[in-house]
């Protein structure tokens, strides 16, 4: 259960960072700025990696 909490925390942190990177940014400017696109993608990727690092094997998986 703590792993789910850790994953949710990682999502919240990533969402906050993505929001900070996108402040005062409209869609056209976002499309033109590969720097901001990559920054936002990187913080969101971190939350996905947090999930893959916290997952335990399926209880019925072959060991």
Q: What backbone torsions phi and psi does residue 58 show, to the nearest 5 degrees?
A: -60, 140
Going 11 to 12 to 13 to 17, the CA torsion angle's sign is: positive
pLDDT: which is higher, 10 or 59: 10
53 pLDDT exceeds 90?
no
Q: What does the domain layout of the chain look like in residue ranges? A: 2-52
Q: How many Å apart are CA 22 and CA 29, to the nearest integer?
A: 10
pLDDT of amino acid 54? 57
Q: What is the pLDDT confidence band of residue 62, given thresholds at 50, 70 and 90?
A: very low
Poorest-pLDDT segment among 20-24, 38-42, 58-62: 58-62
Coil, helix or strand at residue 16: helix
């Amino acid at each position: 259960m703590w792993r789910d909490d850790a994953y949710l925390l990682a999502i919240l942190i990533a969402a906050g960072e993505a929001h900070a990177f996108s402040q005062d940014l409209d869609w056209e400017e976002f499309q033109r700025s590969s720097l901001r696109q990559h920054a936002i993608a990187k913080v969101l990727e971190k939350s996905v990696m947090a999930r893959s690092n916290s997952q335990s094997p399926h209880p019925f998986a072959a060991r």
